[in-house]
Amino acid sequence: MLYRKQAIVIMVMVSLFALTQCIKDLPHFPEPPLSKPAKEGKQIFRFDTFGDEEFWSGLLHIDKAIAGANNGGFGPGVSPQTALAVGLKVDAEAIPAEVAAGIKSGAVKLDDPATTLTLLKLNAVIGVKGNFDEKGQQLKTIGITCAVCHSTVDNSFAPGIGRRLDGWPNRDLDVGAIISLTDNAQPIADLLHVDEPTLRTVLGEWGPGKFAAVLFMDGKALRPDGKVAANLIPAAFGLKDVALTTYTGWGDISYWNAFVANLEMHGKGNFRDTRLNDPVKYPIAVENGFFNVMNDPDLITSKLRALREYQHSLRVPRAAPGTYNFTAAAKGKSLFYGKAKCGTCHSEERYRHASTILSTAEEIGIDDFEAKRSPTGKYRITPLAGLSVRSKGGFYHDGRFPAIADVIDHYDKHMKLNLTSDEKNKLAEYLKSL
């Protein structure tokens, strides 16, 4: 066993040298200069768990599931191949060159959970923070950070491995599958008043790129049509000067950061929202006191300003050249602000104000199920900046429209626009250019 561990360490070190050389050859897009608060927020966004290890490790034992029986945990463990398959991403710039070379050559085994532990020691698994014993050998706990859902990579080294793209939604991440790694899902089942097999079935139906945040407030796992009630993971970029930051307008960016850090990540902070103290609308929240969470020390509240500053600093990605027809897009822009009437809702001025950024379900021509689950009872008008990199998984809060053309067809019928096929195509090219 000792020889095996030494061999792994040697392979990792050998591979670490090669990764550096590979990374030097990758295209690089430098970040804009960050203010001091934004720099602090960057560290928080990427690496701060807010003390959520007590939930993910103490309660759910995800650390043991990752390690596997051969490394002090249980079961087969989570190899890099498995981690990548459920949508976790690896930061190539955090991997020393020797490891990269080993990955390329096959010397570093991507089917071995021990390699995952090495990547965790390097802080290379995006959004997952591993904490090891004093000798750096045994994984003691893991926690998750904002980046697990709201960052991905550019795949510049390999699929799922590359430079970080903070703020991009990870539409490959299968949150349900990751939670299902636990050998102890009963606490979550008890929270939702279901049996454990039912819980695992629901988690399995979320699928890649989706999460059901409000499920843990109201207990509604399914929509009235019987389909799973999970929403697409949203982008964290393009939110500066946007009044409300969720699909149904729960609150501003700092409110939602606090909501998620306390109630979804299960960090240790203070959070108060009397709107959740509604036993009819939010029975799960009331039973568990989610409307008034108190912890001492509070590991979240003091970090919200810096976190907001970093998120507001994130560059909005533009569509890559060649992914749309430039000439058609120019004509589509005129349609956007003219005949198609898109600009009447999707305007910078409407985004800025909580009183104008919300629309009723009737106005946008869809059911009101998700809107009614929120305190506002409405849907937020989604800013379109960076739309080109948010297409995976579909459009609207739940991805109900697979492609831009489907969204255009929906509004053409709902608003009786009478767009021709040519006009629809040009409008689609403009939207793809955003």
d(CA 220, CA 235): 24
What pLDDT score does 30 carry? 60
Per-residue pLDDT tens digits for 49-66: 999 999 999 999 999 999
pLDDT at 5 over 60: no
Specify the pairing of strand 151-153 against strand 161-162: unpaired
DSSP states of 72-132 = TSSSS---HHHHHHTT--EEGGGS-HHHHHHHHHT-S-TT-HHHHHHHHHTT-BTTEEEEE
Q: What is d(CA 51, CA 233) in angstroms, rounded to the nearest whole number?
A: 22
The confidence band for 31, taking pLDDT boundaries of 50, 70 and 90, is low
Confidence class for position 156, pLDDT limits 50, 70, 90: very high
Mean pLDDT of the chain: 92
Neighbours of 355 (CB within 10 A): 8
Q: Say what percent of the chain tops pLDDT 90.
A: 87
Q: Which residues contact 387 (CB under 8 A, 6 or more apart)?
A: 431, 432, 434
Question: Tens of pLDDT along 304-345?
Answer: 999 999 999 999 999 998 999 999 999 999 999 999 999 999
Task: Pick left, alpha or beta for residue 348 (phi over 0 → left; psi -120 to 50 → alpha; otherwise beta).
Answer: alpha
* 165 vs 9 pLDDT, higher one: 165
Q: What's the pTM? A: 0.91
Domain boundaries, the chain: 2-173, 205-313, 326-433
264, pLDDT greater than 90: yes
Q: What is the pLDDT of residues 334-386, one digit of tens each?
A: 999 999 999 999 999 999 999 999 999 999 999 999 999 999 999 999 999 99
Q: Which one-letter amino acid corresponds to residue 402? A: P
